[in-house]
Every structure is written in C-alpha cells, then in structure tokens.
Amino acid sequence: MASAVVSDLKPTVVEPGPSSSSSKSGSNGLAEQSSPLVEEEEEDLHGRLESLRRELELINIQEERVEDELKNLKRELQMIRRREISRRSRVRVSKKTPASSRAGPNKTIHTDH
C-alpha cells in the first residue's frame, strides 16, 4: 500500500467520513474521540511522504546534472577525436611530401654530382 503512495506522489485528499470525525455522539450521549494512535500513524505516513518527495526532487536535480555532465563529456570527446584525426592527417601529409617541397621557396637543395 505504501509503494502505491510513493510511486504516485500526488497529494491525496481524504474526505472525512462519519466514522473518522474527531468527536461523535455515541448512543449514551458521550463524545467519543478518535484513536490517537491512528492520528499519529497518519502523521508519520504524511511525514514520510513529504520526506520521500523531497528526496525524489533532489534525485531529479542530480539526474539533470549528470545528464548535463555526460553531454559535456561527449562534446569534449568529439573535440579530442577531431584534433587527433587532424594531427594524424598532418603527419601523413608531411611524410608523403618530397624533400624538395619541404625545403621551401627560398631554400636551395644542393646535390653533389
């Protein structure tokens, strides 16, 4: 029964019935009071429900933060991968370039014949 209350997390309005009023007239005309144990149990359940609601709210906030951090980490990983691909392509290009083109326009390559 408590799990249904926890999973719904919606405020429930309890309509007071004739048997749940705090005082009622008995057949002898004396006022009967509702059980203090029942009231205490209801207060405990209400307190527990509020505590669980606060806990759920904190968990939802943490979940949002984790999702944001995951998004940032994925973006950072993509940037690192792009840099690595770019670096590798520069290394390949420099290995394929002949010595004459690496010398530059003002450099002269001397060969002995």
Q: Show me where the domains of the chain are located.
A: 36-96
DSSP string, 34-54: --HHHHHHHHHHHHHHHHHHH
User: Can you tell me the distance from the alpha carbon of 64 to that of 58, in angstroms, rounded to the nearest whole number?
Assistant: 10
Residue 29 has pLDDT above 50, yes or no: no
What share of the chain in percent tops pLDDT 90? Answer: 38
Decide if 109 contacts 100 (C-beta within 8 A): yes
User: Can you tell me the distance from the alpha carbon of 101 to that of 107, in angstroms, rounded to the nearest whole number?
Assistant: 10
Q: What is the pTM of this model?
A: 0.45
User: Can you tell me the distance from the alpha carbon of 20 to that of 106, in angstroms, rounded to the nearest whole number?
Assistant: 101
Give the residue-averaged pLDDT of 4-15: 48
Residues 6+ apart with CB under 8 A from 9: 49, 52, 53, 56
Q: How far is CA 37 from CA 43, 77, 100, in A?
A: 10, 59, 96
pLDDT at position 97, please? 66
- What is the tens place of the pLDDT at every residue in 41-85? 899 999 999 999 999 999 999 999 999 999 999 999 999 999 999
